[in-house]
């Protein structure tokens, strides 16, 4: 059930911003962005910084690969809003909608690198809350993933497991394809900060 405070519990400046963005973009201001304005000191500002670092900070993974990880974690969690948002963003970053869909539909058959496939498998296992041990990490490293890449992927996994749960608990409104595309364009241009 969606708490009413997420519809109306914002200061006047935030409400004005939401209205201006809706008027300019002709798209509703997404709930994933709105939630950052409710209690910004508790959730919004710290989570924005963490997400920006995980998704756009220094990494051996490309922006597109990290967005694909976000979409894959979201698919594993069956988080409808986040699947739509990060499928669109991964598609925009990678320039290949068919590839993104193949990864989400059938990881084993998707034409991606062995290191990325091994990493996505580990992220899914963590997301499903299955036991993960040293052998799982060794398997990913043996597939050619560096420790830096592993740390970066785990940061993406953490961030999107939090965001997916919020999106589902607060019943984030799903967007139209045009709405997701507009959000993706924004995220690719300006990031999460």
The four Cα atoms 138, 148, 92, 192 give a dihedral, to 10 degrees, of 130
> What CATH number matches the domain at 28-188, 1.10.150.80, 1.10.1040.10, 1.20.1290.10, 3.40.50.12780?
1.20.1290.10
Alpha-carbon distance of 7 to 13, in angstroms, equals: 15
Residue pLDDT, tens place only, 3-58: 777 777 788 888 888 888 888 888 877 888 888 887 788 888 999 999 999 999 99
Per-position pLDDT tens, the chain of length 193 = 677 777 777 888 888 888 888 888 888 778 888 888 877 888 889 999 999 999 999 999 999 999 999 999 999 999 999 999 999 999 999 999 999 999 999 999 999 999 999 999 999 999 999 999 999 999 999 999 999 999 999 999 999 999 999 999 999 999 999 999 999 999 999 999 8
Alpha-carbon distance of 8 to 24, in angstroms, equals: 21
Indicate the DSSP class of residue 43: I
Alpha-carbon distance of 183 to 176, in angstroms, equals: 11
Residue-range domain boundaries for the chain = 28-188
Confidence (pTM): 0.91
């Amino acid at each position: 059930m969606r708490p009413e405070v997420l519809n109306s519990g914002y200061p006047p400046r935030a409400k004005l911003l939401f209205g201006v963005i809706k008027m300019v973009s002709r798209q509703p201001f997404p709930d994933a962005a709105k939630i950052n304005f409710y209690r910004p000191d508790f959730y919004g500002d710290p989570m924005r910084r963490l997400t920006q670092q995980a998704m756009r900070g220094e990494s051996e993974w490309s922006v597109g690969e990290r967005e694909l990880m976000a979409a894959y974690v979201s698919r594993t969690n069956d988080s409808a809003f986040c699947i739509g948002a990060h499928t669109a963003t991964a598609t925009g970053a990678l320039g290949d909608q068919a590839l993104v869909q193949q990864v989400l539909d059938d990881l084993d058959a998707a034409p991606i690198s062995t290191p990325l496939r091994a990493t996505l498998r580990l992220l899914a296992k963590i997301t499903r809350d299955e036991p993960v041990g040293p052998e799982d990490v060794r398997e990913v490293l043996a597939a050619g993933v560096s420790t830096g890449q592993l740390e970066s992927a785990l940061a993406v996994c953490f961030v999107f497991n939090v965001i997916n749960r919020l999106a589902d608990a607060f019943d984030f409104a799903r967007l139209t394809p045009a709405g997701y595309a507009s959000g993706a364009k924004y995220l690719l241009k300006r990031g999460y900060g």
